[in-house]
Structure 1
Amino acid sequence: MRIGDCWFDPTNGELKHQRDDKRWHLPRAELHVLNTLIAHQGSPVSKFDLRGGDDEYPPLSDSSVARAVCMLRSYLGPEHELLIETIKGKGYLLHSQTPSKSAKQASPRWRYCYWRWLLSAGLALLVMASLYYLNHHTDPTPSEPVANQVLYTQSGQQLQLMLYANSRTNNQLLMQQAEVINQAMQTCNTTIWHEVYASLSHDKQVLNMTLRGESKGQSVVRNLKISDARQPKDFINKVWLQGANLCG
C-alpha cells in the first residue's frame, strides 16, 4: 500500500521510501497505530481505539500513541506528514491523499512533533537515571560511636552513654566530659533516661547531648547544647547540673 512517497509492507512491518529506497522497520507501537489507521482510513480513530492490546501485548499508553503518530509523520516526511491529521477531540485520521498545503506550512508542525518526541525521550531517560541512582546508591552507614559506656544510678539502674567524634584520636576532652556525665548520673536515684549521646563541635566550643528515655509509657527525647569558650573547658558544672536536672 502506498502512503505518500512510501510503500507500506504490512507483512514485514516496513515503510520503504520510493525516492531513496530507505526502509524503516516499524516498532510495535508505530506498526499497530498505522495498521489501525489504515483499517479506518478516511475516518477519525480515537486514541483509546489506537491503544489496542491483546493477550500477547498490553495496551499502549496515550503518550505512546502520540509518540507513534509523531514518528510515523517523520517517516513520511514534511511533504506528506499531513496525511495523518489530528482531529481535535476525536483522535487521528489517515487521508488517502495529502491535503493541499505547502511544505513550508507543514514543516513547523513536523518540527514541533519531533521536538515533543525528543522532550518525552529526555524525560524518560531522566526518570530511568533517577531510578538507577536510587537502586545503586544505598543510604550511608550510620556513624559508629567512638566509645560506648554503661552508667549506673544509685539504685543500680543502667543506661548507655555513647560518644561520637570526627575521629578516634585526640578525644581527651570528650572523654573528660563523659566522666563528668557519669558522676552526674551516679547522683540520681533513678532516671527516665535509657540512652545518652554526646559529641563536641568541630571547634570544641559546644558540647551536644541527646537523652532518650521513657516517661509514663511514652518516648521522651531531650536535646542539650552547652557552650564554653574558656580554657580549660567546664561545660558541666554544679550550677548547670542543678538547673538541667539530668535525672529527669
Structure 2
Amino acid sequence: MQIGSCWFDRQNKQLIDQSKDISWPLNDQEYWVLEQLAAHRGQVVSIQQLKSPNMHRTNMIKIVEALIQFLGKEHASLLEYIPNQGVILYKNATSQPSRLLVSPYGPMSYRQYLFVIILVIAGCVYAYSGLSTTSYIKADYSKWIMSKQGGLTELLVYAADDEQYKLNEKIDVIAKHIKSCDAVIWQSITLALSSDKLSFSLVMKRQTDATWLYHNVKLSRAYLEQQWLSAEWLKEVQICD
C-alpha cells in the first residue's frame, strides 16, 4: 500500500521510503498500529482499537509520532492524532491546520486561534534562542521541577500583565502537578498565557544526540474557573511520560 512516498510492505512488515531508499522494519506493535490505520484508511481508528494487547497508550502515541516523522514533512499531514478519539490515516495529504486541543465547550474562534499561533511562534523563538548566545526576554516566572525519577525540567512562564502573587499561586499548582509525574522527558516547558487568561500555549523541548525535539500544545477555556489540569491531561498532552 502506498502512503505518501512510502510503501507499506505487509508481507515483510516494513515501511519503505522510496524517495530516500530506506526501510523501517516494524516490530509487532508498530505493525499492528499501521495495519489498523491502513485497513481503515480515511476513518478515525479509536485508541482502544489501535492498542494491541499489552500495549500502553503512551507507546501507541509514540508509534504514531514515529510514523509521522518517517513520512517526512511533505506527507506528515497524512496522519493525525485526535485527542480522546483516535488516529486517522488520510488518503491524501491535506493542507488543513491540525486540530487544536480544545475545551469540551467548543473549538477556538478564529481570533483565539490566531492569537495562540502568535504565542507559539514567540515560544519557538525563545526556545531557539537557547541554542545560541543571543540574549532573550526574561521569563516572568521560572522554576526547576524534579520528577519522581529524578529528572530536572525548567518551567518558564510568560504573563507580564498578571499580578506576581496571583501568578505564583497559579504556577505553583501547575508545577506541583508536573512534579507528580513519574517521568518528564522535556528539558524545558515554556508556558505563555493570553491577556484574558482563557488561552495559553505550551512549548516543550529537549535535546537528543542528533537534534532538538519540540512539542506544542494549545488550550482554550470557556471561563476562568474551568478545571483542566489533571494527571490524565498531563499524560494526554505528553508532558508526563
TM-score calculated relative to the size of structure 1: 0.38
TM-score calculated relative to the size of structure 2: 0.39
Greater RCO between the two (CA within 8 Å, min separation 6)? Answer: 2
